[in-house]
Amino acid sequence: MSDSDSFIEEVTEEVRRDRLFLMFRRYGWIAIAAIVLIVAGAAWNEYSKAQTRAAAESLGDGIIAALAANDPAERAIALSEVETDSAGGEAVVNLLIAAAEVNSGETAGAVARLNQIATNGDLPEIFRQIASFKALTMQTDSMPAAERRVQFEALAQPGAPLRLLAEEQLALIDVSEDEVDAAVVRLQAILDDAEVTSDLQQRVSQLMVALGATPQVPSRIQG
């Protein structure tokens, strides 16, 4: 390599360094800001997780303490004093309060509380469906069978989380209206469903026997 080539290469390298230094002066703050944001984001994420965990533990402790009351009425009062910081936490507490109200004879109050949960669009579907299901089962003597049937059919739609339990209730409505054959067909369909639980399978089988039918239990359950 000649002296002139070496000189040109050194100059070129110097120009590159100058350009790199200039770019760093102009845009280096972006990299620094990005690093700061990443670190801050990670710290905030850990803080949020800690806060969420602490809130959940506090809610759980409050619920356990309230459930320790032996008298249902006192239990309902204690549960109503549990502090919540989320719609989901409030829904859980209200479901427990409704159960305590039923045990203390305050069925009307429990139904009203459950219906309030069922119509709260801010809650996940599972909370709303549980509340609606429980409210309906409490109104066997106060709500016409036709109206209960319509609402249970809504809960029994394909993909609904409580559809098999709703089908069981529909079968009971069939029985109450002397539609025994329809009830048996519905009950057998529950047994044939891949998602049937062992408890539900046992209840359905017992009801079919009581109705004079023979349950056809699939081999996957028998095994």
142-152 pLDDT per residue, tens: 999 999 999 99
Contacts (Cβ under 8 Å, ≥6 apart) of 109: 98, 101
User: Mean pLDDT, to the nearest integer, of 34-61?
Assistant: 65
pLDDT, mean of residues 189-217 = 93
Same domain, 149 and 163: yes
Is the CB of residue 133 less than 8 Å from the CB of residue 108? no
Q: Which of 140, 156, 180 is the last residue of a domain?
A: 140
Same domain, 162 and 129: no
Provide the pLDDT for residue 76.
Answer: 87
3 and 63 part of one domain: yes
Residue 195 corresponds to which tokens in the numbers above?
């998602």
* In the block, residue with structure tokens 């109206």: 147
Together in a domain, 129 and 94:
yes
Q: Of 140, 169, 193, which closes a domain?
A: 140
Please tell me the distance from the alpha carbon of residue 151 to that of residue 176, in angstroms, as a whole number: 16
28 compared with 108, residue with greater pLDDT: 108
Q: Which two tokens stand for residue 220?
A: 């996957």
In terms of pTM, does the model score above 0.75?
A: no
Closest CA to 155 of 185, 175, 125: 125
More confident residue, 213 or 68: 213
- 41 and 114 share a domain? no
**What is the mean predicted confidence (pLDDT) over 50-74?**
77
Distance between CA 54 and CA 101 in Å, rounded? 29
* The residue to which tokens 């209960």 are assigned: 148
- Residue 217: pLDDT above 70? yes
- Range with the poorest average pLDDT among 8-12, 18-22, 75-79: 8-12
Domain co-membership, 59 together with 32: yes
Q: Which residue has the higher pLDDT, 15 or 208?
A: 208
Q: How many CB atoms sit inside 10 A of residue 147's CB? A: 11
Has residue 141 got a pLDDT over 80?
yes
* Same domain membership, residue 123 and residue 175: no
Same domain, 165 and 204: yes
Which class for 76: exposed (0-12), middle (13-18), buried (19 or more C-beta within 10 A)? buried
Q: Tell me the average pLDDT of the chain.
A: 82
User: What percent of the chain lies above the pLDDT cut of 70?
Assistant: 73
Place of tokens 């069939």: 174
- Structural domain count, the chain: 3
Backbone CA torsion sign across 174, 175, 177, 178 = positive
Is 91 found in the same domain as 54? no
Confidence check: pLDDT of 112 > 70? yes
- Going from the C-alpha of 157 to that of each of 14, 163, 175, the distances in angstroms are 74, 6, 21
Least trusted range by pLDDT, from 38-47, 65-74, 89-98, 196-205 = 38-47
Q: Identify the residue with better confidence: 178 or 92.
A: 178
Shared domain for 97 and 48, answered yes or no, is no
> Strand ranges (DSSP E) for 12-158?
none
Residue 79 sits in the same domain as residue 57: no
Q: Are 146 and 169 in contact (CB under 8 A)?
A: no
Give me the domain span that covers residue 204: 144-223
Looking at 9, 43, 68, which one is the last position of a domain?
Answer: 68
133 and 75 in a single domain? The answer is: yes
Task: Please give the full DSSP string across 18-39, using - where no structure is assigned.
Answer: HHHHHHHHHHHHHHHHHHHHHH
